[in-house]
């Protein structure tokens, strides 16, 4: 169990270390420097990759269910690999493949979900729609009187 948790932790950390995808693909250092077309293209790619990771996890679930219901066993002669490895080992291999596919699909799903969220935030921040209103808290510091001022900013895009 400890080994499984360490492997999952390693996969999550390796996914987080590859977070600046826009630097490799678009050669910008900040997501806010991307153009509207680049953001829309990366949003489409990210949504497609999210669905691909869901598909990967679903295939892993199919492997586990087929392994549980013994769909991999056949009434005919076993193949050379099944003769060499054995029926129980083949059963374990299929179960392991199912677990790995589910784990990798789930980790990729959350990574691409985070990427999609960041892209949508960059689109709404840098390219607001006409007629949109943005309300945000504002904190100012007056150097001359050494006082703090709290307030709100209201931005109307037209």
Provide the residue ranges of all domains of the chain, joining segments of one domain with +.
Answer: 2-129
Helix axes 2-17, 87-126, angle to 10 degrees: 30
pLDDT of 68 > 90? The answer is no
Confidence at residue 16, expressed as pLDDT on a 0 to 100 scale: 58
Q: How far is CA 47 from CA 40, 41, 54, 108, 113, in A?
A: 11, 10, 11, 12, 8
Q: What is the pTM of this model?
A: 0.67
Take residue 49 and report the two structure tokens written for it: 């990759």
The region of weakest confidence among 63-67, 73-77, 94-98 is 73-77
**DSSP state for residue 72 in the 8-state scheme:** T
Q: How far is CA 156 from CA 25, 49, 70, 121, in A?
A: 33, 35, 62, 18
pLDDT of 144 > 90? The answer is no
């Amino acid at each position: 169990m400890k080994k499984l948790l360490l492997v999952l932790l390693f996969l999550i950390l390796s996914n987080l270390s590859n977070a600046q995808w826009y630097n490799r693909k678009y050669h910008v250092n900040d997501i806010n420097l991307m153009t509207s077309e680049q953001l829309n293209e990366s949003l489409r790619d990210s949504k497609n990759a999210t669905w691909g990771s869901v598909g990967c996890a679903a295939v892993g679930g199919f492997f586990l269910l087929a392994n549980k219901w013994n769909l991999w066993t056949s009434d005919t002669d076993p193949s050379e690999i099944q003769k060499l490895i054995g029926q129980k080992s083949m059963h374990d291999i299929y179960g392991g493949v199912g677990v790995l596919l589910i784990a990798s699909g789930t980790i990729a799903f959350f990574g691409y979900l985070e990427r999609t969220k960041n892209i949508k935030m960059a689109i709404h921040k840098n390219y607001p729609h006409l007629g949109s209103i943005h309300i945000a808290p504002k904190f100012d510091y007056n150097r001359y009187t050494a006082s703090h001022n709290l307030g709100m900013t209201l931005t109307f895009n037209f």
